Amino acid sequence: MGRRLLLASALMLFIELGLIRWTGAYNVYLSFFTNFILLASFLGIGLGFLRQEGRAALFGLTPWFLVALVGFLAVFPVAGGRADGVLTVVGAFGMPALPKWISLGVVFVLSVGVMAGIASGVAMWFGRFEPLVAYRLDIVGSLLGVGGFALLSLLELPPLAWGILVATGLVAAGARRGWRALLPIGAFVLVLTALSVAPRTDWSPYQRITTTTVAPDGSFGIDVNGRPHQRAMPVAFMRSDQAFRFVPYARSPGNPLGSVLVIGAGSGNDAAIALAEGAAHVDAVEIDPVLVRLGLERHPDHPYQDPRVSVHVDDARAFLHGSDDRYDLVLFAIPDSLAALAGQSSLRLESYLFTREALEEVRDHLAPGGAVAMYHYYLPVVVDRYGAALAAVFGTPPCLDVSEGAGARARTVLTVSEEPSSLACDATWQPSAARPTTSETDDYPFPYLAGRGVPPFYVVALLAIAVASLAAIRLAGGPSLAQVRPYLDLACMGAAFLLLETTNVVRFALFFGTTWIVNALVFGGILASVLIAIEVAARRPARRVGLLFALLFASIAVAFVVPPRALLDLAPIPRFAAATILGFTPVFLGNLIFANRFRDVASSTLAFGANLLGAIAGGLFEYTALAVGYRALLPVVALAYAAAFLAGRHARARPAPPIAREAPDPAMSAPG
């Protein structure tokens, strides 16, 4: 039984991470609603644990839900494109895409079905162990799931590899028996095979990358997750068609260009331009290894093969932390990913590049007379935001160059220096009274929002998810709901833990980069902290829960009081030690409290289900960061744990009922 629970738990987390990554690759709506699949996953897992009847049958439906989900996304993808010359979204073969609400609604329902199915299998084995033993096996399995997903990301394997691993795991876990029952598993693998052999498609650790046919001049387009992203072009063509890329060099005519830093180097266009403009050395920083490889293999000017260019596959902010070099020119070369961190938070890969603190770091890396330039197809509100940030950091408004772009998104170049006399500006940026000009900070890294607050679409969608979740819990729970009420404190802990996990994801992304490996290590570290808390609770049960809560609140207060900038100023090893202590101490204490409470529950599956359903509330509250910033989530975490403490007092006041062990389901095969 232990092996079955271990396998099912590993499979559950692996599928969750896979869905978060894979669905966003075929539906661009999910690029703007980052934890949509996470919320669906928690709802599905919670329902799978809450439902006590027919778990084997629901577990057996997992392959059907999977093939329905991947089939729907294959037949009804949503990609970026043009219709009548206007940027819009399109479906398969350039046909109109499904409306947003229909597309997201179907994806949400099917994702809930997938996770409810696999969770029902986990719950069948979970309930046959003592609560802490089951919890330990679940966490160890989750660590294996994270490790497996990280390995496939490292190897840059296509969806077929994920599908084979999931199909093998489902068969081994006993989801389907008999050759007829293998039909949906085979169909699931077949659909992923068709998608994986799509021509000119690569899978990086972040996104699906598709290239177009090479043009006569050697240029080729690159699409990311179904959206046009960049085009590798020779310098000669860019001089005539992409003249805005050369503006920073014209605005700083006396710049010696001894060393140039390109942030968001992509496939190499801007490195090639820097070389053509006479740069003696170029540091090209790009976070996606596949984009770098495409540049190495296929860029018509071969800039990455030039000995004057050093390519760094890294997060640009992390690169700046670890470098003492100074540059005559720093270029923000359209670093717009539309790729979010997997799992949680509304961060995109470039979110921490445009904050005021980031620009201060860039300023500190400039040589005397050096300049900073950024260019993109910016909306006016973004121009004002970046213009305000540059003016605040450098003490002078930047040069502003605007030319025709794509609709409202003009080709805009902002160039600034600490020595304004070194620049030759035709015009400078001036704030618009009609638009906000406040710059973003490391605590509020959302440069693309029109203003502080949760956008109306998010509000409507989150309300719809909340209502749908309550209805689904009511329908699936049935008589079990009355038995869940004693576990209200565990539900509050679930909400608190989700938010605590989110704050750790975003803090470590700031401290060490928004790379996939940092994200994987954070999830692994959190799960390891949980496992240590389980072992401590199993060996030394807490007698003074109130003291644990007091220590937890103190650790949250310390994490709130210590500003991130204090850690950023530290060397890498002390920064890692401080970040680990500040971030994981509340995680450990919160889970030590949870483990001590969980040890004595009457029904481990209902209690665990309540905890997971509570995480949905945490996921919904996470969007308040769009209004108040991430640091303000920590007081919300404290309030949720305070609610858990108050609710738990009633549970602790009652004598603990005998712990129930669930009988084996006759529909399941013999235990492993």
Examine residue 442 and state whether it is found in any structural domain, yes or no: no
**Are 469 and 505 in the same domain?**
yes
Task: Return the percent helix, strand and coil in the chain, to nearest 5.
Answer: 60, 15, 30
CB 402 within 8 A of CB 428: no
Examine residue 53 and state whether it is found in any structural domain, yes or no: yes
Mean pLDDT of 267-286: 96
CATH of the domain at 387: 3.40.50.150
**Are 196 and 219 in the same domain?**
no
Closest CA to 592 of 555, 627, 564: 555
d(CA 119, CA 192): 22
Residue 61 in tokens: 């439906």
Count of domains observed in the chain? 2
CB 429 within 8 A of CB 398: yes
Closest CA to 107 of 95, 117, 118, 115: 115
- Reduce the secondary structure of 333-345 to three states and give it as a string: ECCCCCCECCCCC
Examine residue 557 and state whether it is found in any structural domain, yes or no: yes
Residue 227 in tokens: 């959206």
Compute the Cα dihedral for 286, 290, 291, 293 and give only its sign: positive
pLDDT at 359 over 70: yes
**Are 470 and 536 in the same domain?**
yes
**Are 247 and 144 in the same domain?**
no
**Are 306 and 157 in the same domain?**
no
Q: What are phi and psi of 129, to 5 degrees?
A: -115, 165
Cα angle for residues 241, 247, 252 (degrees, 5° grid): 160
Closest CA to 46 of 400, 473, 468, 516: 473
pLDDT at 399 over 60: yes
Mean pLDDT of 373-391: 88
CATH of the domain at 569: 1.20.1250
**Are 276 and 243 in the same domain?**
yes
Query: What is the identity of the amino acid at 306?
Result: D
Q: What is the mean pLDDT of the chain?
A: 87
Examine residue 668 and state whether it is found in any structural domain, yes or no: no
Residue 215 in tokens: 């043009």
Mean pLDDT of 417-442: 81
Examine residue 546 and state whether it is found in any structural domain, yes or no: yes
CB 244 within 8 A of CB 265: no
> Of the residues 403, 422, 441, which one is the last residue of a structural domain?
422
Q: Please, which pLDDT band fits residue 292 given cuts at 50, 70 and 90?
A: very high
The b-or-e profile of 123-146 (16+ CB within 10 A means b, else e) is: bbbbbbbebbbbbbbbbbbbbbbb
Examine residue 660 and state whether it is found in any structural domain, yes or no: no
**Are 474 and 371 in the same domain?**
no
**Are 276 and 394 in the same domain?**
yes
Examine residue 344 and state whether it is found in any structural domain, yes or no: no
**Are 167 and 46 in the same domain?**
yes
pLDDT at 267 over 50: yes
With H, G, I as helix, E, B as strand and everything else as coil, classify residue 618.
helix
Q: Would you tell me how many other CB atoms lie within 10 Å of the CB of residue 400?
A: 17
d(CA 376, CA 336): 9
Examine residue 40 and state whether it is found in any structural domain, yes or no: yes
**Are 44 and 128 in the same domain?**
yes
d(CA 618, CA 620): 5
**Are 169 and 227 in the same domain?**
no
**Are 68 and 169 in the same domain?**
yes
Q: Please, which pLDDT band fits residue 407 given cuts at 50, 70 and 90?
A: low
Read off the pLDDT of residues 28-64 as tens digits, 9 standing for 90 and up. 888 777 788 999 999 999 999 987 777 788 888 899 9
Read off the pLDDT of residues 598-607 as tens digits, 9 standing for 90 and up. 988 888 888 9
Domain residues for the domain of 389 are 215-336+356-422
